[in-house]
Structure 1
């Protein structure tokens, strides 16, 4: 049985540790294997193998003879060193932040030359010059801090500590459909319901993300257990950043948009959900189970929204939702609004927060309470009225 990350005990009693030693032309990982009589021995061998790979960096990431490596070089080294542990979507985001923000500002500087005043100027340029939100700027600064820490370790700890001041981030009131809007949307979805309307309704009644809906196959639905197994997500990544999380499902052939999208700079892929906590089982409500039986095809490997082996692009489902919302006269809403609405209705119905957190796929209940639970005024008033018995006039 497994005792740690990518370390397993074999039937012969030995331990096997797996590590990524390279990548194929399509971005899929090539694995190396180390063996040992104990868990620690196998893990130690794999760790040493990873270190050797990290030390053997591409020539493009090394400084020229007689030239000290600048921050652009260390940014590339950091991305290469952490590539194996990052999800494809995270790796693509970090690469974009590095190329679009960090390198243009700090790329030609030596690590020891960066001053706190320059970092403050970098922060101001992101906030005012580029108009990024404080939350996005905090994310970029956190990435920059990680690169600086990595650079310091590679420099023998000789770099001075640089303090980073993070901008304050104010939580916005998340958009939730009120009862009238939700009722209007449900009535529209019920009229001549097709696969796309079913997908939107499923999101509204389960809190699933748009990528999880698009990647859902009929074999992921257990009619015996009356539950949905969320184990994949569909996402669009820049070409060259694709690293399939499931070798048995290497790619997602686009649906009706496939021909046009094939020429784009991005690629639709099937990967694992956002985090380990996002791998979850969601019980089916009776009406959802009935609809599943209605749309159920003969081929269990078919995707839920298309009934074929071709995955629907999340952007197409988003366009369908936008059309439905316009027909209902519902403003300023997007697909994630359905997830917020589901969570809020669950709290209003008296859901146990721990149960709701697991249904949504959160790692802790704090995320559920802070990000997705938005009591309305009526619910607040109901709770305040409970104090009457404690404070009589």
Structure 2
């Protein structure tokens, strides 16, 4: 009977028309957070109070970031909305919104970035090229792995970002595979102008690369097999240790470092938003507005001598 169905049973029953990469994320929300806390609850009795308690559990007990809490609650609301559409419940409880606070993102300092890049250029290979593309062009790891040789247009001086390559869960239990997918939004599909240093690095890399087929992955082993993103992450972890970088710095911090350097150099927020492939300038401002403020403050301090 519909009145007896639990949330866990509905989650197992419902169909989701989403991208494979998104499905992996949603299933992790369900498995790690939603089902353990609310899975045994009957669908018809999920209340506003329980939604509040769930939010507090994620915040206090699991100590998740506000954005992660918001994403998990948003997915739970979608699950309940689908239940309403199929007649299992009459109304969807409200979710208490997690407050998003802009926090300082771990990045490389200018000196750390300069030293790291010098190290990478001395040993130019597929893994070091992956790191250089993130810190030098602001690419996400999946975007770096999704590049083909033909996406590097040295003549036009442009890097064409069109695809992402990610590891996703397959139909087989506990199995994953690496797939290449189109980027989520039109803004993510972008052409990034190459500055001269990055253009020369890519030129040198392609010169010695065994990959001549423009359809082959740019970041790959000699036998043309794509390098797994996890391999690049392990490589970066070793780089962090050898360069004594802050442990909180991650591969994604390279992208944040790119954005910070851009603002320090005076790049305007509109241009930065397009370079980063963000959905809107407002989103870019919410992520890096504090960096722009600090840069302006530093410039104002230079004017102090006029008084």
Tell me if 1:130 matches 2:45: no
Q: C-alpha distance in 1, partners of 2:23/2:146?
A: 20
Residue 323 of structure 1 and its aligned partner are, at CA, apart by 2.0
Q: C-alpha distance in 2, partners of 1:235/1:359?
A: 21
Q: C-alpha distance in 2, partners of 1:294/1:388?
A: 45
For residue 303 of structure 1, give the secondary structure of its aligned residue in structure 2: coil
Q: 1:72 aligns with which of 8, 21, 42?
A: 8
How many residues align? The count is 300
Q: C-alpha distance in 1, partners of 2:147/2:67?
A: 31
2:156 match: 225
Q: C-alpha distance in 2, partners of 1:138/1:178?
A: 31
Q: 1:114 to 1:324 in 2, by over 3 A?
A: closer
Q: C-alpha distance in 1, partners of 2:202/2:302?
A: 42
Contact 1:196–1:320 (8 Å) recurs in 2: yes
2:266 match: 350
2:242 match: 327
Q: C-alpha distance in 2, partners of 1:378/1:227?
A: 28
2:171 match: 240
Structure 2 matches for 1:39-50, cutoff 5 A?
A: none
Contact 1:188–1:328 (8 Å) recurs in 2: no
Higher helix fraction: Structure 1 or Structure 2?
2
CA RMSD of aligned residues (A): 2.8
2:217 match: 303
1:363 match: 279
Structure 2 matches for 1:139-158, cutoff 5 A?
A: 139-155=71-87
For residue 261 of structure 2, give the secondary structure of its aligned residue in structure 1: helix
For residue 187 of structure 2, give the secondary structure of its aligned residue in structure 1: helix
TM-score in terms of structure 1 length: 0.68
Q: C-alpha distance in 2, partners of 1:175/1:69?
A: 44
1:52 match: none
Contact 2:21–2:168 (8 Å) recurs in 1: yes
For residue 166 of structure 2, give the secondary structure of its aligned residue in structure 1: strand
2:108 match: 177
Contact 1:216–1:232 (8 Å) recurs in 2: yes
Contact 2:240–2:246 (8 Å) recurs in 1: yes
Contact 2:124–2:205 (8 Å) recurs in 1: no
> Any stretches of 5+ residues in structure 2 without a counterpart?
none
Q: C-alpha distance in 1, partners of 2:245/2:41?
A: 50
Q: What are the superposed Cα offsets for residues 95-145 of structure 1, whole Å, 9 maximum, x if unpaired?
A: 221233223333343333222222222223323333333332222111112
2:177 match: 267
Residue 292 of structure 1 and its aligned partner are, at CA, apart by 2.4
For residue 277 of structure 1, give the secondary structure of its aligned residue in structure 2: coil
Residue 311 of structure 1 and its aligned partner are, at CA, apart by 0.9
> Any stretches of 5+ residues in structure 1 without a counterpart?
1-62, 242-262
Q: 2:204 aligns with which of 266, 278, 294?
A: 294
Contact 1:207–1:342 (8 Å) recurs in 2: yes
Q: 1:160 to 1:292 in 2, by over 3 A?
A: closer
Residue 280 of structure 1 and its aligned partner are, at CA, apart by 0.9
Q: 1:104 to 1:354 in 2, by over 3 A?
A: same
Q: C-alpha distance in 1, partners of 2:146/2:58?
A: 35
Contact 1:209–1:336 (8 Å) recurs in 2: yes
1:280 match: 190
Q: Which has the higher contact order (CA 8 A, sep 6+)?
A: 2
Bigger radius of gyration among the two: 1
Q: What are the superposed Cα offsets for residues 69-91 of structure 1, whole Å, 9 maximum, x if unpaired?
A: 4333433455x1xx33x221111
Q: C-alpha distance in 2, partners of 1:201/1:133?
A: 28
Please identify runs of 4+ aligned residues in structure 1 that moved more than 6 A.
none
1:203 match: 134
Q: What are the superposed Cα offsets for residues 140-197 of structure 1, whole Å, 9 maximum, x if unpaired?
A: 11111222223223329x7245232233333321012111111211221222322322
